[in-house]
Structures are given as structure tokens and as C-alpha cells.
Structure 1
Amino acid sequence: MTLLLTLAAMGCRPPSVSIQPGLGARQGQARATSCPTCPLPTPEEFTRVLQEAYLRYKDLNEGKNADYIPALAKVDPSLFGIAIVTVKGDVYEVGQSQHPFAIESISKLFVLSRVMNQLGADELEKRVGVEPSGMPFNSVLAVELIPNHTANPFVNAGAMATTGLVRGGTQDERWAEILGTMEAFANRSLPVDQEVYRSESETNSHNKGIAQLLLSYGRMQGDVLGAVDLYTRQCSVSISARDLAVMGATLANEGVNPLSSKRVVARENIPHILAVMMMNGLYDASGGWAFRVGLPGKSGVGGGLVAVVPNRYAIAAFSPPLDAYGNSVRGQRAIEYIASTLGANVFIGTGP
């Protein structure tokens, strides 16, 4: 049963936090820490910190929507939702946590997971690379300066190369692999936002140029324009912050979806995926994110952001206005607050 808890004794009506306990809902006091063997925060702690983060940042008026994709420029900038999903399957959410938005670059995370399942971590590193590029995510110069690899799977060049590695005899078969993987992570069917897909398809000449350049360097093979189309379509899949938290919790749960109990990612690939997230997940702001928050994360220009607390839970946020690097402003602030309050930084020791 869904319980609605509201914050009392406030001058204005507070947000309600929806809580859906899973089979592993815990009672009593819990120590808030990144320690994987310690009890999770209690439902009351999760509820309180979600409410506090939402109220702190819901009126923050910084950043702007991505305007180089016309469909994204039209999204209401006031939308803001946050969700937490634990490895036990407990779901906590507040605000517009179920409002649909385009997954955009966060899709790279799940396609990476699929390809790593198919090829293995070593082969993925060999073919695509895992190093930060030190340049914007859509840089052509990075391809020219580092022609022997594509930097990492989260810059556009590396993401298209990764998508090009998805197995399948036809375009439809490869798309079924990509969408099926994202749906297994989310534990539900996911639609493609056709308006976003059309808008991106009409404005993706830059990505087509990068793909052709990769072809000339031998870093992509076959139908590169077909790979660009698949990449464009995967970025147009529609999800919510709740979906994204479930997807992140699957990574936190060593590759097993906490709602379906089905394995989505090979367990041995999880450390490699989280490492790529930590180094490259927030574009050129990844270093600052690791410094401040200390969690593997991945953002998208649709306004989504997910952070993974290994073996414990995932935090996801949605808010369209972005900073100069392409990361959700409210999303970053909210997740940083939640992670700090709950002691989730993976670099903080848990000894005496």
C-alpha cells in the first residue's frame, strides 16, 4: 500500500512524499552511512530528507533548458521531482517524480551495460576507451586529437561507437536489444517520445559528422548512420525520476532489479560501470561532482540525474534547467544535499 506522509507545522502546504515499501522495509533506527553492511536509513529518514531537499531547491531559479534541441526547450522549467529506490525495493518519491522526460545521455549508461554484458569489460575498454576527454561531450576536436580511441562511452563519440557495438542482424534487432535493456532496468515498458525523436533527428548533423570521422579512423564500422539513428532514438526514450531511481537501484543491487528480482547486468561488470560513471558521468563537471558528492552519477540534458550508492540505494532527480556543463541545477543540489545528509559519500570511511 502506498502511504502518503506530509510535513506538518509549516506555513504552506508541504509536498507529499509517496512511499512504497518493498519486502525488505526496515523498522527502527538506522545508521546513515555508505557502509554496505549497515542498516539502511529508516523510512522516516528517507522521507524527511526528500522533503527537505525538495523544499530547499524547488524555487531555485538557475540554469536554462537545453535549447539546441527544440523539443527540450519547450519543457516546463518549473518541473522538479526526486525519487529514491533501495536495493530492498522500497520506493520514496516527492514532487513531479512521475512526470515523463527524455532520458537523453543517461541512455548511454544502459547501452554501455548491454555492450559490456555482450563483449566484457576488457573488450569495451579496448574498443571504446574509458578515459575522460577533458573536452565538451560533443567535441570533434577530441576525436581528432585522440584518433586511436573515442575517450569513453559517455561522450557522444564514444556513445555512438558503443551503440554501434550492440549485437543484432538488423536495425530492428539492435533496437530491440537497446530498448529491452532499458525496460529491464526500469521494470516496465518505456515509450519513445516521438516529438523529441523527430526534433533530435532534424538537428543531429553534428553527431553524423562525428560518426563519419570515427569511421575514417576505424573506430566505427558498418552502417554508422544507422548507429547514429539508434543513438538518437535511445536518447528519446521517455522515463520519469521514479523509473530512473529503479534503474539506478539495479546497479546499486549488483545488477539485479530490486523490483523484478531479475538479473540485468553481470555482477562482475558493475564495478567497471560505476567507475565510468564516477569519472565521466557529469560531463566536464564529473571531477567536481566526485569531489563534492562522492557518488557514481549520470546526467542527461533532458534534466535527469541519477546517483548510485552501491549495495544500498539510488537517488534520481528531474529538473530541466541545466548548468553550463549540461547538468540539472536543481538535480545536482538536491542529490548533493540528500547524499550529504545520509552520509552516502563512498569515499568516507566507516571505521571507528
Structure 2
Amino acid sequence: MKYNEIFEKIAAELKDYDQIGQVATYIPALAKANPNKFGMYLVTREGHSYFHGDTDETFSIQSISKVLSLVYAFKLVGTDLWKRVGVEPSGSPFNSLVQLEYEQGIPRNPLINAGAIVICDILMSELKNPYQDFIKFLRSLAGNPNIDYCKTTAESEKECGFKNSAHINLMKSYGNIENDAEEVLDFYFHLCSIEMSCKDLAQTFMFLASGGKNPVNNKRIITAQETKRINSIMLLCGFYDEAGEFAFRVGLPGKSGVGGGIVAIYPDQYSIAVWSPGLNTKGNSSKGIKALELFTTITQSNVFGPSPIFDELEYE
């Protein structure tokens, strides 16, 4: 069976999926999304691409950007990063203030809001032009010079970002924020506003499925050891307080965003991105998770199960 045929099979099975969820309404710019949009895009280690549905349409990647900002910060400061943010699953909603105060301003991990804000603070300290430098880094990973921030979404996030303001001020009180709080928040909101397609995301994350190297040009992005760290954090923390459920059902390291996107990787094999804006109660794409569960079940490709059946799949 070909990958495209697998995608068609999954799409047919989910055509009348009755748990599509609701789009994110607490961010006004995201409330306009069409919940019926759906796309899947896969890139293999050999550079082959397979896709189905709305894979070229851009959407707000939101928290998926947190993995990429983490990678960039890790490149810049190395293991000193872990003095300011932990690596444990939160077990709490992504915007929990209770946990942050209990742990004295040290976020549980870099993929919850507070942790990602600390990462933004680090990037602002380390980079001369953080906005330009980060988007340049992202464009190079994706191979797409048109990827950019969405000012409308960034402003929309700022208008309703009261909890994020509480997070950064609480961390500032504990000495875990070095730069001006409002400037760091503005950078954070811009990172969340970045717009990409399933195609862009699958290509961008391929280096994490390739031991830290971009397979297109063989350029090393991070070391193999650092890649292990990032993939581990995605597996444990990439879906907030649904991370265990995602690992149980899908079995891959990945990251979601409230724009409805999910990206996941199978080490040494592929990177896959899905998009469906309808979210479940945990803030993750309901249809997207189900699609990935079906995909890893059909292909037997997950990091916990038996050897995958790639040899039995036709790639052309």
C-alpha cells in the first residue's frame, strides 16, 4: 500500500468524524478558522513526499513554534538552559499559574507557556536581532523564504494575553526573566503567530528525525545528543496534560498547537504534519490525533512497537 493510499483511507474513515472539536475562540484571530479543513503531509528520510488534503494552506502554528525556539536556544546556551527550565511533564494545563508559583518561577518544561516565555527571554539576551534571526533560522529549516509572522494574530494574542502577563511577572519576581517583560511577551506572541503549512512543518522538523541534520543539504542543526533531548521533551511534554494519551495512542514524539496543527517524527524514518482546526478539551486537534493514531497503526511505525513495515510499503 502506498502512503498516499493510506492517507486516502484515513481521510475516508474520518470523513464523518463526529468528534471534530471546536476551534480556539479565546484568541480572536483563530476563531475564524474553518473546522472542516484537513491535511496530512509526510516527508521520508530519502526526501520523498506524500500528502492529502489542505497541505499547502498556511495556518497559525502557535505552540509548535516552541520546539523550534527551544532548539535555537539550546544551540546558543547549551546545558545552561536547564538551570532556568525543567524537563518534566506538567500534568497541568499549559497556562497553569499554580504549578509555576509552587515551583518558584522555574517552569516545569519548555513547551508550556511559562517555559516558552523563558526561552524567548534567553533568545532576546543572546540574539542581536531576535525577530529577524529567528525567522531566518525557521526559513532555512523549511526551505521556504516566505514564512513569516502574522501581525494580526500577534496583536490578537496580545489583546487577550492576561495569563501570559501573569506568568512572566511571576517569573520576573523570582529572577527568572532578564529582559523587559513586555518586550519578551511581544516576541513570544510573534513566535506563536507564525504561519506555515503542513508541507512546511513536515520539512522543518525533518532534522529531528535525522539525528540533528537537515537531510536536504546535510547541514547539522544540532548534535545527535541534543536531538535526543529535544525528541524526549516532545514525547513527554508536547501535548500538555494529554502527552501520555498521545504517546499511548500514537507513539511518536510530536508537538501540537491551538491552530489545529500537529507535527510528529519517527526517528530515522519520517516527519509528518497534520492540520485540523477543531480542538478537543485539552487544546489539541481532535481529528489530527485520530488521523495520526490510524497512520501509526496501519504502518506499525511507533517508537514503542515492533519493527515497522516500511519494506512492505511502496514508496513511489
TM-score (norm 1): 0.83
The aligned residue for residue 258 of structure 2 is 301
What is the DSSP-based 3-state SS (H/G/I as helix, E as strand, rest coil) of the residue aligned with 1:235?
helix
TM-score (norm 2): 0.92
The aligned residue for residue 139 of structure 1 is 96
The aligned residue for residue 73 of structure 1 is 31
CA contact (8 A) 1:66 1:322 kept: yes
Q: Aligned letter for 2:45? A: V
Q: Aligned letter for 2:132? A: A
Q: Are 1:201 and 2:147 matched, yes or no?
A: no
How far did 1:220 drift? Answer: 1.4
The aligned residue for residue 104 of structure 1 is 62
Q: Are 1:183 and 2:183 matched, yes or no?
A: no
* Matching residue within 255, 269, 285 for 1:328: 285
Q: Aligned letter for 1:304? A: G
Q: Aligned letter for 1:273? A: I
Q: Distance in 2 between matches of 1:130 and 1:168?
A: 21
Q: Distance in 2 between matches of 1:58 and 1:177?
A: 41
The aligned residue for residue 53 of structure 1 is 10
* Matching residue within 218, 221, 244 for 2:175: 218
CA contact (8 A) 1:280 1:286 kept: yes
Q: Aligned letter for 2:29? A: A
Larger Rg: 1
What is the DSSP-based 3-state SS (H/G/I as helix, E as strand, rest coil) of the residue aligned with 2:255?
strand
The aligned residue for residue 155 of structure 1 is 112
The aligned residue for residue 299 of structure 2 is 342
Between stretches 145-154 and 172-181, larger displacement belongs to 172-181
How far did 1:185 drift? Answer: 2.1
Q: Distance in 1 between matches of 2:124 and 2:93?
A: 28
Q: Aligned letter for 1:93? A: F
Which has the bigger relative contact order, CA under 8 A and spacing at least 6?
A: 2
The aligned residue for residue 127 of structure 1 is 84
What is the 5 A alignment of 1:281-320?
A: 281-320=238-277
Q: Aligned letter for 2:275? A: F
CA contact (8 A) 1:281 1:297 kept: yes
Q: Distance in 1 between matches of 2:164 and 2:133?
A: 22
Q: Distance in 2 between matches of 1:165 and 1:54?
A: 41
What is the DSSP-based 3-state SS (H/G/I as helix, E as strand, rest coil) of the residue aligned with 1:166?
helix
String of CA shifts for 1:249-295, please: whole Å, max 9, x gaps: 22101222233433323332100000000000011100111122211
Q: Distance in 2 between matches of 1:237 and 1:159?
A: 15
Can you give the 5+ residue segments of structure 1 that lack an aligned partner in the other structure? 1-43
What is the DSSP-based 3-state SS (H/G/I as helix, E as strand, rest coil) of the residue aligned with 1:347?
coil
* Matching residue within 47, 61, 65 for 1:89: 47
Between stretches 306-315 and 181-190, larger displacement belongs to 181-190
The aligned residue for residue 312 of structure 2 is none
How far did 1:298 drift? Answer: 0.3
